[in-house]
Protein backbone atom coordinates (compact mmCIF):
# COMPACT_ATOMS: atom_id res chain seq x y z
CA UNK A 1 0.00 0.00 0.00
CA UNK A 2 2.95 2.31 0.73
CA UNK A 3 4.04 1.97 -2.90
CA UNK A 4 0.61 1.61 -4.51
CA UNK A 5 -0.90 4.87 -3.25
CA UNK A 6 1.81 7.24 -4.55
CA UNK A 7 1.94 5.29 -7.81
CA UNK A 8 -1.82 5.63 -8.33
CA UNK A 9 -1.65 9.29 -7.29
CA UNK A 10 0.97 10.01 -9.95
CA UNK A 11 -0.93 7.95 -12.53
CA UNK A 12 -4.27 9.68 -11.96
CA UNK A 13 -2.74 13.16 -11.67
CA UNK A 14 -0.90 12.77 -14.98
CA UNK A 15 -3.99 11.50 -16.80
CA UNK A 16 -6.09 14.41 -15.53
CA UNK A 17 -3.36 16.89 -16.42
CA UNK A 18 -2.54 15.65 -19.92
CA UNK A 19 -5.81 14.20 -21.23
CA UNK A 20 -7.38 17.50 -22.42
CA UNK A 21 -6.29 18.26 -26.02
CA UNK A 22 -3.10 20.29 -25.96
CA UNK A 23 0.07 21.02 -27.89
CA UNK A 24 1.97 17.82 -27.09
CA UNK A 25 -0.76 15.17 -27.32
CA UNK A 26 -2.28 16.70 -30.46
CA UNK A 27 1.16 16.88 -32.09
CA UNK A 28 1.73 13.23 -31.19
CA UNK A 29 -1.56 12.40 -32.93
CA UNK A 30 -0.58 14.43 -36.00
CA UNK A 31 2.82 12.71 -36.20
CA UNK A 32 1.00 9.37 -36.07
CA UNK A 33 -1.36 10.34 -38.89
CA UNK A 34 1.39 11.78 -41.11
CA UNK A 35 4.38 9.54 -40.38
CA UNK A 36 3.01 6.43 -38.70
CA UNK A 37 2.92 5.08 -35.16
CA UNK A 38 6.65 4.26 -34.98
CA UNK A 39 7.70 7.89 -35.41
CA UNK A 40 4.87 9.00 -33.12
CA UNK A 41 6.19 6.66 -30.42
CA UNK A 42 9.66 8.18 -30.82
CA UNK A 43 8.06 11.60 -30.32
CA UNK A 44 6.29 10.26 -27.22
CA UNK A 45 9.47 8.82 -25.69
CA UNK A 46 11.19 12.19 -26.13
CA UNK A 47 8.31 13.97 -24.40
CA UNK A 48 8.17 11.36 -21.62
CA UNK A 49 11.89 11.75 -20.87
CA UNK A 50 11.42 15.46 -20.16
CA UNK A 51 8.23 14.81 -18.16
CA UNK A 52 10.20 12.40 -15.96
CA UNK A 53 12.72 15.09 -15.02
CA UNK A 54 10.05 17.79 -14.67
CA UNK A 55 8.03 15.63 -12.27
CA UNK A 56 11.12 14.68 -10.27
CA UNK A 57 12.19 18.32 -9.94
CA UNK A 58 8.64 19.28 -8.95
CA UNK A 59 8.53 16.70 -6.14
CA UNK A 60 11.98 17.64 -4.84
CA UNK A 61 10.88 21.26 -4.73
CA UNK A 62 7.58 20.23 -3.13
CA UNK A 63 9.43 18.30 -0.40
CA UNK A 64 11.20 21.53 0.58
CA UNK A 65 7.92 23.43 0.64
CA UNK A 66 6.25 20.69 2.71
CA UNK A 67 8.98 20.89 5.34
CA UNK A 68 8.24 24.60 5.83
CA UNK A 69 4.67 24.76 7.00
CA UNK A 70 4.45 28.54 6.74
CA UNK A 71 5.10 28.27 2.99
CA UNK A 72 2.40 25.59 2.66
CA UNK A 73 -0.17 27.85 4.33
CA UNK A 74 0.84 30.80 2.18
CA UNK A 75 0.58 28.70 -0.99
CA UNK A 76 -2.87 27.50 0.04
CA UNK A 77 -4.11 31.06 0.49
CA UNK A 78 -2.54 32.29 -2.74
CA UNK A 79 -3.73 29.16 -4.53
CA UNK A 80 -7.31 29.68 -3.35
CA UNK A 81 -7.37 33.23 -4.72
CA UNK A 82 -5.85 32.15 -8.04
CA UNK A 83 -8.18 29.17 -8.53
CA UNK A 84 -11.23 31.20 -7.51
CA UNK A 85 -10.33 33.88 -10.08
CA UNK A 86 -9.68 31.23 -12.73
CA UNK A 87 -13.07 29.66 -12.01
CA UNK A 88 -14.85 32.98 -12.47
CA UNK A 89 -12.88 33.70 -15.64
CA UNK A 90 -13.41 30.34 -17.37
CA UNK A 91 -17.07 29.93 -16.40
CA UNK A 92 -18.36 33.45 -16.99
CA UNK A 93 -15.83 35.66 -18.81
CA UNK A 94 -13.76 33.65 -21.31
CA UNK A 95 -15.15 33.12 -24.80
CA UNK A 96 -15.74 29.58 -25.97
CA UNK A 97 -12.78 28.37 -28.05
CA UNK A 98 -13.48 27.07 -31.53
CA UNK A 99 -11.90 23.76 -32.54
CA UNK A 100 -8.85 24.57 -34.65
CA UNK A 101 -5.57 22.96 -35.56
CA UNK A 102 -3.45 25.91 -34.43
CA UNK A 103 -2.50 23.99 -31.30
CA UNK A 104 -0.57 21.51 -33.40
CA UNK A 105 2.97 22.21 -34.52
CA UNK A 106 3.54 22.22 -38.29
CA UNK A 107 5.81 19.30 -39.02
CA UNK A 108 8.23 19.87 -41.88
CA UNK A 109 10.96 17.29 -41.36
CA UNK A 110 10.42 13.61 -40.72
CA UNK A 111 13.66 13.33 -38.79
CA UNK A 112 14.38 13.72 -35.07
CA UNK A 113 10.88 12.98 -33.79
CA UNK A 114 12.44 12.05 -30.44
CA UNK A 115 14.07 15.49 -30.11
CA UNK A 116 10.89 17.25 -31.25
CA UNK A 117 9.06 15.52 -28.39
CA UNK A 118 11.78 16.64 -25.97
CA UNK A 119 11.61 20.22 -27.26
CA UNK A 120 7.84 20.61 -27.03
CA UNK A 121 7.80 18.99 -23.60
CA UNK A 122 10.66 21.20 -22.38
CA UNK A 123 8.90 24.45 -23.33
CA UNK A 124 5.80 23.29 -21.45
CA UNK A 125 6.41 24.37 -17.85
CA UNK A 126 2.94 23.37 -16.63
CA UNK A 127 3.98 19.98 -15.11
CA UNK A 128 6.31 21.52 -12.51
CA UNK A 129 3.82 23.79 -10.67
CA UNK A 130 1.07 21.24 -11.30
CA UNK A 131 2.89 18.36 -9.59
CA UNK A 132 4.12 20.65 -6.81
CA UNK A 133 0.53 21.58 -6.04
CA UNK A 134 -0.75 17.99 -6.32
CA UNK A 135 1.96 16.44 -4.14
CA UNK A 136 1.78 19.14 -1.46
CA UNK A 137 -2.01 18.83 -1.46
CA UNK A 138 -1.84 15.05 -1.07
CA UNK A 139 0.73 15.42 1.71
CA UNK A 140 -1.57 17.82 3.57
CA UNK A 141 -4.19 15.04 3.65
CA UNK A 142 -1.52 12.51 4.74
CA UNK A 143 -1.89 10.60 1.45
CA UNK A 144 1.70 11.19 0.41
CA UNK A 145 5.12 11.43 2.06
CA UNK A 146 8.29 12.83 0.55
CA UNK A 147 10.59 9.88 1.09
CA UNK A 148 12.68 8.60 -1.82
CA UNK A 149 10.54 5.52 -2.50
CA UNK A 150 7.30 7.52 -2.59
CA UNK A 151 8.83 10.22 -4.80
CA UNK A 152 10.17 7.79 -7.40
CA UNK A 153 6.98 5.72 -7.27
CA UNK A 154 4.89 8.85 -7.86
CA UNK A 155 7.15 9.85 -10.75
CA UNK A 156 6.83 6.34 -12.24
CA UNK A 157 3.04 6.59 -12.07
CA UNK A 158 3.11 10.05 -13.67
CA UNK A 159 5.34 8.83 -16.50
CA UNK A 160 3.17 5.76 -17.13
CA UNK A 161 -0.02 7.84 -17.07
CA UNK A 162 1.48 10.35 -19.51
CA UNK A 163 2.56 7.56 -21.82
CA UNK A 164 -0.92 6.03 -21.67
CA UNK A 165 -2.58 9.30 -22.68
CA UNK A 166 -0.13 9.91 -25.53
CA UNK A 167 -0.59 6.35 -26.77
CA UNK A 168 -4.38 6.75 -26.68
CA UNK A 169 -4.11 9.88 -28.85
CA UNK A 170 -1.76 8.08 -31.23
CA UNK A 171 -3.77 4.86 -31.50
CA UNK A 172 -7.34 6.17 -31.38
CA UNK A 173 -7.14 9.74 -32.66
CA UNK A 174 -9.31 9.06 -35.72
CA UNK A 175 -12.00 7.53 -33.52
CA UNK A 176 -11.92 10.24 -30.85
CA UNK A 177 -11.35 13.22 -33.16
CA UNK A 178 -15.01 14.26 -32.97
CA UNK A 179 -14.86 13.99 -29.18
CA UNK A 180 -11.77 16.20 -29.03
CA UNK A 181 -13.77 18.88 -30.88
CA UNK A 182 -16.46 18.57 -28.19
CA UNK A 183 -13.83 18.84 -25.44
CA UNK A 184 -12.25 21.90 -27.06
CA UNK A 185 -15.65 23.62 -27.42
CA UNK A 186 -16.41 22.97 -23.75
CA UNK A 187 -12.85 23.43 -22.49
CA UNK A 188 -13.68 26.58 -20.51
CA UNK A 189 -16.50 24.83 -18.64
CA UNK A 190 -14.31 21.79 -17.93
CA UNK A 191 -11.37 23.86 -16.68
CA UNK A 192 -13.64 26.19 -14.71
CA UNK A 193 -15.33 23.24 -13.00
CA UNK A 194 -11.98 21.67 -12.08
CA UNK A 195 -10.54 24.93 -10.73
CA UNK A 196 -13.79 25.49 -8.81
CA UNK A 197 -13.49 22.12 -7.08
CA UNK A 198 -9.81 22.77 -6.31
CA UNK A 199 -10.68 26.21 -4.91
CA UNK A 200 -13.33 24.70 -2.61
CA UNK A 201 -10.95 21.99 -1.37
CA UNK A 202 -8.25 24.61 -0.77
CA UNK A 203 -10.70 26.83 1.10
CA UNK A 204 -11.71 23.86 3.26
CA UNK A 205 -8.03 23.27 4.14
CA UNK A 206 -7.52 26.93 5.05
CA UNK A 207 -10.60 26.99 7.30
CA UNK A 208 -9.57 23.67 8.87
CA UNK A 209 -6.08 25.04 9.65
CA UNK A 210 -7.29 28.25 11.33
CA UNK A 211 -10.29 26.79 13.13
Please state the domain extents for the chain: 4-210
Distance CA 13, CA 2 (A): 17
How far, CA to CA in Å, does 150 sit from each of 6, 55, 153?
Answer: 6, 13, 5
Other Cβ atoms less than 10 A from the Cβ of 4: the count is: 10
Distance CA 34, CA 63 (A): 42
Note down pLDDT in tens along the chain; length 211 residues. Answer: 578 999 999 999 999 889 877 889 989 988 988 888 999 999 999 999 999 999 999 999 999 988 887 887 787 788 788 888 888 888 888 766 555 554 555 565 555 899 999 999 999 888 998 899 899 888 877 889 999 999 999 999 999 999 999 999 998 876 666 666 666 677 678 778 878 888 888 888 788 777 7
Distance CA 51, CA 198 (A): 23
- Do 11 and 84 form a contact (C-beta atoms < 8 A)? no
Amino acid sequence: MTVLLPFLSGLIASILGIFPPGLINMTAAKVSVQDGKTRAMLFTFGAILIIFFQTLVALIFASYIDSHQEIVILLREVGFVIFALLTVYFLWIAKKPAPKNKDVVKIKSKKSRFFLGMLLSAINFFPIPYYVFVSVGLASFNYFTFDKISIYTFVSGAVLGSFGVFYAYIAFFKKIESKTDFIIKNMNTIIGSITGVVALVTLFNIIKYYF
